[in-house]
Amino acid sequence: MQKRQLGRSFLEVSAIGLGCMGMSFSYGPPADKQEMIALLRSAVERGVTFFDTAEVYGPLTNEELVGEGLAPFRDRVVIATKFGFDLDPNGGPRWVGLNSRPEHIKQVADASLRRLRTNHIDLFYQHRVDPNVPIEDVAGAVKELIQAGKVRHFGLSEAGVNTVRRAHAVQPVAAVQNEYSLWTRTPEAELLPTLEELGIGLVAYSPLGKGFLTGKMDETTRFDSSDFRSILPRFTPEALKANQALIGLLGEIGARKQATPAQVALAWLLAQKPWIVPIPGTTKLTRLEENIGAATLELTADDLGSIETAAAKITVLGARYPENLERLTGL
C-alpha cells in the first residue's frame, strides 16, 4: 500500500484508510464483533495503517472494537478518534448536544485512551465545531494533551475555513476531515485552497457517497430504520433514481480501466491532491479488498478531464443531511 503524508504534519498514513463507524453504528444493526475484529486485522495485513473511529460511534463501542482489533498491531497503525459531543447519560444511542469545553475534551481523551487500549491518540479531531466554545480554547486544550503525550496530532471535522485558521494559529492542525466525493464537492471552493496554503491534510469521509457510488443502489433500495440513510434526502427513491447518472459515468470509466465504480471514485479522490486520504468504510472483506485496489488505479489526465466534463453536466439531487444536522457543518 502506498503511503501519504497529511499536509506538513509528518503524519504518514496509508493512501486509503478504513472508516470504522459502520461496523457498530449508523448503517443498520451492529455487525458481529469477532468478524469485525478479523476485518480490522485483515486490513492491517493488506497494508492499511489508518483507522478512524469516535466516541459517539456506538456510542463508545466502536472505540472498544477498534482498540481490541488493533491491539496486536498498535505500533504499526495510526488511530484517529474524535471528541465534541455530550452523550445520553441514560445510555441511549444518540448524542444529546455539543460539548467542546476544555475540561470535557480532556475527560474524553482519557476515556478514549482506555477504550482504545493505548497510551496515545495519533489524531484527535473535534467532531463538530461547538459555537459556544471559542476554537482557540479547543485548540489550547488539545495542545495541552499533546504536551502531556496523550495526543500526537490535532484535527478538525466539518469546520469552516475561518475556524481552521484560528485553530491552526494556536495548535497546528494536521488534518481536516470532511465529506468529499464526486457527489459532494463543496470542499473545493474554499477549504481545499486553505488547506493547501496552511499545509493541512484532508481526510475524506464518505468517499463513496455512503455506499451510493459503489453502483449497488437504485430507486428500489430500502434501508432499515436503524440505518441513518433512511432519513437522508439523497437516499429517497426519487434522489436515488435521479443520481444514477453519476454511476453511469463511473461505470463508463471503470469499463475502460477494468475497475469498479467504487475504485474509480476513490482513484478520482486520490488524484485531486497528494495530501488527500479517503477513509471508505465497510463490513465486508471483499469490499475492503476492492477499495484497497483503488490505490493502484491510475487515472490519466484525459480520464480526469472526461470525468470533469461529464460531472459538470450532472446535478446531484438532495441535500447531504436533514436541515437540523446540516447546521452542524461549516461553522
Active site positions, annotated: 57
- DSSP 3-state percent helix, strand, coil across the chain (nearest 5): 45, 15, 35
Question: Residue 120, class by beta-carbon neighbours within 10 Å (0-12 exposed, 13-18 middle, 19+ buried)?
Answer: middle
Three-class SS state of 225? coil
What's the DSSP call for residue 235? G
Return d(Cα 146, Cα 135) in angstroms, integer.
16
Cell (9 digits) for 44:
492491517
* Contact assessment for residue 304 and residue 10, using Cβ atoms and an 8 Å cutoff: no
Q: Report how far residue 176's alpha carbon sits from residue 196's, in angstroms, rounded to the nearest whole number.
A: 11
Question: DSSP secondary structure string, 153-198?
Answer: EEEEES--HHHHHHHHHHS-EEEEEEE-BTTB-GGGTTHHHHHHHH
Q: Which amino acid would we find at residue 81?
A: T
Say if CB 134 and CB 105 are below 8 A apart: no
CA distance 119 to 114: 8
Rounded to 10 degrees, what is the CA torsion of 136, 138, 141, 147? Answer: -70
